[in-house]
Structure 1
Amino acid sequence: MKIAAIQMVSGIDLQANLATARRLIGEAAGEGARLVALPEYFCFMGRADTDKLAIAETPGAGPIQQMLAEAAAAHGVWVIGGTLPLVSPDPQRVLNSCCVYGPDGALAVRYDKIHLFRFEREAGGVRESYDEGRAIHAGDAAAAFVAEGSRVGLSVCYDLRFPELYRALMAPPCDLLSVPAAFTYTTGQAHWELLLRARAVENQCYVIAPAQGGRHENGRRTWGHSMIVDPWGEVLAVRPEGEGVVIAELDAARIADVRSQLPALTHRRL
């Protein structure tokens, strides 16, 4: 099964972002991808964290969810919808939700991001400060789905630093782990590829990581480097910066070979 990671440099115009995402889904499908994954915040990168409250949708209704469903059905592909803001129990915060749509356009599963990013650093007179908890309500449950016989585990961005989530997703084992992200340039440069390859190696499965990659209208710079990694930790395809599509083949035989040669998943004791 061909899988595609879409890289974007999303801005503050919701409709423009949706149009770009729709076009890139079509491009990926045109290259033969059966599963297409969008990055975190693909639909909107506001000037302030709280801007996303104004476009928050209720589950099952709204232009963002409608576009994802229509694109999946139009191209007959699985769409992992990066993340979008959904209303939460707290009116001052939203859920950062990954909605997955099947080739029929129906919602297959939803995952609400569990781990919320916070980072503060000052270097060379430049201060970076992020705190997702100011505007996002954390989820509390892992989620997975099956696409064309392959089990796919869901995660989002900062989740990547918490291997216990991926272990929870490996019962039964996943064939593919999805990590839509908007890594900062600083943390991405240091840890992005390292963590993605580690998750692939320790879980002996493919990892698809669609990312935001470039300088955004709000001044933020994201690391990009959308990539697909195989079960041995080999990077099969990567796009450093700018919008575009990264495609590779998910090969079930490759997963089986790795797991038979080094049956680490069966050696777990904790």
Structure 2
Amino acid sequence: MKPVIVRTIDELRERVRGLRKQGHTVGLVPTMGALHAGHLSLVQAAKADGHKVIVSIFVNPTQFNDPKDLDKYPRDEAADVALLAPLGVDIVWAPDVDEMYADGFSTTVSVSGVSEGLCGATRPGHFDGVATVVTKLLLQAQADAAYFGQKDFQQLAVINRFVTDLNIPVEIVGCPILREDDGLAMSSRNVRLSETGRKTAPALFLALSKAAEDIESGNDVTRVLAHASKSLLEAGFTSIDYLELRASDNLSPMAQFDRPARLFAAAFLGDVRLIDNVVVKGR
């Protein structure tokens, strides 16, 4: 059954009120469209938790620090809706920019701490844009729970932080990274990879996995990261934004592996920026 497509906040809230009057809870899956199996797994998780599901499709301009990147972001609403229909999604929330950011809009949600470094260092203003739009989406949908993938782990940490700090009554659910058969983390940006780039891209996960194993074995963190960076460049990546070991709880940098941690990387294949992360397990 095809989901209802809603384009105004007033209609969205009216439909949510109707669901609540019928005794339902609401699960929100925020997306920027260009849906893939990773997004669909979030929908399935929300359905499994018993919610009526709203999927938002909104390419948020305030989280792009590069206008060219915004212009290149893939958009195909009809294809996205076709993917969602078999999953029993109830509402597709697809506002335009003017509906989301009305004339005179001048409020920003900014999160310090977990937003600093990693993508926060190389994409100025990105997490302010994320925090602001996700705050709006949570309030617009009045969701009981919202579902996000762990590929964007720093984003997930930012969202958890402001939801806690602002006392927003919603459960934030982080879901596992879905990968292609060759290990590449699923991403809407993958469609922009050249044929050569697509063959090279799995090296990112392989390098992170090998580095995690080496750190788990007690090897020096700095040397392991230097070797992983070298392997990525040798594999064909054109540049590396970052490759770092960070604490799992607050994303603070780690020079030694002495508490729960993750390895984070962002690297370019041509003009396509890929990100990924893996857990570093204790011995």
Find the structure with the greater CA-based Rg: 2
Same fold, TM-score > 0.5, yes or no: no
**TM-score normalised over the length of structure 1:** 0.33
**TM-score normalised over the length of structure 2:** 0.32
Q: Would you tell me which structure has more strand in proportion to its own residues?
A: 1
Q: Would you tell me which structure has more helix in proportion to its own residues?
A: 2
